[in-house]
Amino acid sequence: MDYPKSFYEHIAQTSDDPMGLMIRRAEGPFIYTDDGKRYVDFISGIAVSSLGHCHPNVVQAVKDQVERHMHVMVYGEYIQKPQSELAELLTSQVPSNLDRVYFVNSGTEANEGALKLAKKYTGKHKFISFHNSYHGDTHGSLSVTGRDVYRDPYQPLLPDVYFLSFNDDSELHKIDEETAAVIMEPIQGEGGIIPADTDWLQKVRKRCNDTGTLLIFDEVQTGFGRTGTLFAFQQYNVVPDIMSLAKALGGGMPIGAFLSSSKIFETFKYDPPLNHVTTFGGHPVSCAAAYAALKTLLDDDLMKNAITIENTARSILKGKGIVEVRGKGAMLGLQLRDFELTRKVVKACLDEGIILGWTLHSNTLIRIAPPLIIDHDLLKDVLNKIKATILLYA
């Protein structure tokens, strides 16, 4: 079979210029292609492979579960050990008001479920989101994504969605008694790696409390140690009412989740029963992988590695052509002088075996999100190569 031909002729394309790497295998921080080249995956498959690729604990968990059973019934009917174990471990790491979890297949599904849950519980239909936010590409998630270039081709979307300016106190009065939920990323990812200000985020929480509005944190990218704590909200002294997760949750397997309280989740049981269901959500193989990934992350205390990554990146990435490094932990944005410099650096680094990424909303920002297990010497070597490339073209 001619795999490249099949890719270009039969796989639905999402751009005119895909990277086109022919993947043979992946292990740790490395991806190997059919031509024998080795790449350092410095974006972790877009914040998915935080334990690196094919972590042995995750691989073994997948093998063990495949031999027991795979799909046996739609969500929520049969008691399955991988689901129960993962739910218990996950909820043990968060505040008591997030004591129940609903497993889905992806981040956008998690946000869809979170939006529905907020509407069902509050009986309201107005949502507040933020400019330059990103919550997914399905219709509901896209409706609360704050970027017109992605929304406009699919209008009309959900009504009664309003966008405020991120980190701006002056607009918080628009969160009112008619608002079902505010949905936000503690650190805007695709919007340019923009962290929320602590004081502002606490004001958002208070405004939600005062108006009876639920606060949804989209921690799809920020979750599972990427920012230096298990979840980003733990750095802000602000607890959400609903939290959505995906990406690194599965250790490389597809799975998403949204968490809330037992009281809020009660509303999914009636008017009508089974009013939010999924066939493959909480797939036992994905849950087994996720349990192994989370246990490894906790047992090895890999969150601290995110802080080391940040400190090392900030110490090295300075000089001509570099505007700033922003973000938290191993979720960093390298802001360069202009588009042309950014384009040249990303391309030259790829030629040198370093996979970098651009965010969806900025053509002068390079995503820095290496696996949390990356060797420190390799980390420094890659960062120095990126800096040298910037200086070459700056």
Q: Which of 299, 317, 340 is the last residue of a domain?
A: 299
Q: Is 214 left (phi over 0), alpha (psi -120 to 50) or beta?
A: beta
- Note the pLDDT tens digit of each residue in 112-161: 999 999 999 999 999 999 999 999 999 999 999 999 999 999 999 999 99
Pairing of strands 331-336, 322-328: antiparallel
CA pair distance 9, 143, nearest whole angstrom:
31
| CA angle in degrees (0–180, nearest 5) for 116-278-136 | 55
Range of the domain at 20: 3-54+301-393
The confidence score (pLDDT) of residue 19 equals 87
The confidence score (pLDDT) of residue 225 equals 98
CA pair distance 187, 347, nearest whole angstrom:
26
- Note the pLDDT tens digit of each residue in 330-341: 999 999 999 999
Rounded mean pLDDT, 293-316: 98
The confidence score (pLDDT) of residue 2 equals 75
The confidence score (pLDDT) of residue 3 equals 79
Share of the chain above pLDDT 70, in %: 99
Tell me the pTM: 0.97
Give the residue carrying structure tokens 């297990």. 373
- Note the pLDDT tens digit of each residue in 191-222: 999 999 999 999 999 999 999 999 999 999 99
- Answer yes or no: are the C-beta atoms of 238 and 201 closer than 8 Å: yes
CATH of residue 364's domain is 3.90.1150.10
- Dihedral (Cα; 53, 57, 63, 68), 10-degree rounding: -140
Secondary structure letter of residue 28 according to DSSP: B
The confidence score (pLDDT) of residue 359 equals 63
Tell me the backbone φ, ψ of residue 285, rounded to 5 degrees. Answer: -70, -40
The confidence score (pLDDT) of residue 18 equals 87
One domain, residues 266 and 351: no
11 — pLDDT class (breaks 50, 70, 90):
confident
Share of the chain above pLDDT 90, in %: 92
Is the confidence at residue 344, as pLDDT, over 80? yes
The confidence score (pLDDT) of residue 360 equals 61
The confidence score (pLDDT) of residue 107 equals 98
Mean pLDDT taken over the chain: 96
One domain, residues 66 and 157: yes
One domain, residues 308 and 216: no
Pairing of strands 187-188, 194-195: antiparallel
88 — pLDDT class (breaks 50, 70, 90):
very high
Is the confidence at residue 4, as pLDDT, over 90? no
CATH of residue 276's domain is 3.40.640.10
One domain, residues 233 and 331: no
How many other CB atoms are found less than 10 A from the CB of residue 314? 15
One domain, residues 162 and 26: no
One domain, residues 124 and 217: yes
Distance of CA 256 to the CA centre of its chain: 10
361 — pLDDT class (breaks 50, 70, 90):
low
The confidence score (pLDDT) of residue 17 equals 83
Rounded mean pLDDT, 48-56: 98
Domain count, the chain: 2
